[in-house]
Structure 1
């Protein structure tokens, strides 16, 4: 199986964007948008294999045809990993349906490899043979206020993927 068949390992897959919440480096505009009660999403990233490396988080809009495509990203950022779980706030342009993809660059080498982890909002089931969930399984609604969504990171384990602790 090639690296390109696994979205959170595939070079150029364009999966990652986000803006940081309190205490994590990020855009001042993003923090202001999240703090002001505007439409936003608080992403709770759990299951980091180690509290090192960098998180790359991407926010995608409601156009399912652009899900996981570089041109479909609404926001993209990288934040240093500071623990085994992190909260990241993403401002959204307007109420609607959104989805999030997260990549954990564990070894900070800038490329996606077998040590790295990844996951999607709402934790849809993925496998090595079916690594890209449909937008409908990862998407969630955002209204006028902050929405919350979880992402549990998955890592390659032999011929399968799963949470770091299992």
Structure 2
């Protein structure tokens, strides 16, 4: 099991307003994840991006490689967050949209994971994460790995992406 120093968690992250789709903007380079978050219920509050290295760290929930909080920019489209990594390997990403920015989990908040696994209401209520295998992303050395994530919100007695009328 690899250990990552706290300095890795303190690495600067970059938010790319307006979402450059999944292109690799010049600001994001080296071994990194370009997390592209879409499906916001509203463009307010804060976005938390947490990254875990390996299944044991993900299962623990407190042993993160990084935790980045950024304000949700106004506008439309995805919000891209560059997450520098300490090295190549397998990682998991979890997202939380604190819609009202109060720092607490509320019914109006959203969330998601790398690879966009289907979430159940039972998982949300009991705060059980999807399996590591379902959210695992391989990051290669010296390259930016795109990680698209669609936010899920509580919808009546289910949880899922916001459906917009065309």
Bin the TM-score by the shorter chain: 0.7 to 0.9
Find the counterpart in structure 2 of residue 139 from structure 1: 136
Please state how far the C-alpha of 1:74 moved relative to its aligned partner: 0.6
Question: Any idea what the Cα deviations from partners look like across 1:79-100, whole Å, max 9, x if unmatched?
Answer: 0101442000001111000110
Specify every segment of 5 or more residues in structure 2 that has no aligned partner in the other structure, as ranges. 1-11, 19-24
Q: Report the TM-score, using the length of structure 1 for normalisation.
A: 0.76
- 2:72 counterpart (63, 81, 99): 81
Aligned structure 1 segments of 4 or more residues deviating by more than 2 angstroms = 18-24, 68-71
- Give the conservation status (yes or no) of the 8 Å contact 2:152–2:159: yes
Distance, in Å, in 1 between the alignment partners of 2:60 and 2:121 is 19
- 1:163 counterpart (152, 161, 164): 161
Q: Report the TM-score, using the length of structure 2 for normalisation.
A: 0.76
Aligned residue pairs total 140
Specify every segment of 5 or more residues in structure 1 that has no aligned partner in the other structure, as ranges. 1-17, 25-30
Please state how far the C-alpha of 1:23 moved relative to its aligned partner: 5.1
C-alpha RMSD of the superposition = 2.2
Q: 1:68 to 1:50 in 2, by over 3 A?
A: farther
